[in-house]
Amino acid sequence: MVEDDDALVARLKAGDDTAFTVLVHRHSGRVYGIGLSMLRNEQDARDVVQDTFLNVYRRIDSFRGEAPFKSWLGRIATNNALMKLRTRRRKPEVSLQIRSPKFNDDGQHERDIVDFSPLADKISESRELGQRIRETVERLPDKYRTVLVLADYQQLSMKQIAELLDLTVPNVKTRLHRARLAVRESLADYLSGDD
């Protein structure tokens, strides 16, 4: 039987380090994903994974279980990634231009829109599409990428993101909207062969 996170946390609090190993193996991919998508660098992302699980080990007694372990872990990982993002020597950015859809004078879309939404169910079958999305997200300027990753990958609320980034909720919404528009435009170009 697969032991749930709550049971593993209880065992870890009781001093059973084997529970820690299970938690690390279960969640390391997600933490790595947070680090990689925010920092765009594999070594930095691996550092985030290591720092995050060390924090978990040292602070497990302060985890009161009011939120799921996964959320608590995600918050620690995000804070570690943000800290690294603020302090590291910046990798030169070749940022994606933040593009929005174009409209004519009557406020109608200028170009035809192809509905690629069914691809969302098939992304696991298309390595190329997944790669394109990762590259697009990577090329977003930091301030847009961070919000997109926190909202759409980590599924944090606008309020949680605002608190983490010390922004207002309307500011978070504006950045997220622009980031989604930019990713959407990039995918539309790619799928229509314009890029």
Binding site for another protein (CB under 8 A): 17, 21, 24-25, 28-30, 32-33, 36-37, 46, 49-50, 53-54, 57-58, 101, 103, 106-109, 112-117, 119-120, 123-124, 129-130, 133-134, 137, 148-149, 151-153, 155, 158, 173, 176-177, 180-181, 183-184, 187-188
Closer CB to another protein, 88 or 159, in the complex: 159
Sign of torsion, CA 139 32 165 154? positive
Q: How far is the CB of 89 from another protein (least distance, A)?
A: 23
Distance CA 138, CA 131 (A): 10
81's CB contacts (< 8 A; 6+ apart) are 34, 35, 38, 39, 48
Q: How many Cβ atoms are within 10 Å of 83's Cβ, its own excluded?
A: 12
79's CB contacts (< 8 A; 6+ apart) are 164
Q: How far is the CB of 158 from another protein (least distance, A)?
A: 8
Closer CB to another protein, 164 or 188, in the complex: 188
Instruction: Give whole-number Cα distances, 101 to 39, 111, 112, in Å.
Output: 28, 8, 11
Identify whether the C-beta of residue 145 lies closer than 8 Å to the C-beta of residue 37. yes
Q: How far is the CB of 53 from another protein (least distance, A)?
A: 6
Identify whether the C-beta of residue 88 lies closer than 8 Å to the C-beta of residue 24. no
Closer CB to another protein, 97 or 124, in the complex: 124
Closer CB to another protein, 58 or 90, in the complex: 58
Q: How far is the CB of 22 from another protein (least distance, A)?
A: 12
Q: How far is the CB of 184 from another protein (least distance, A)?
A: 5
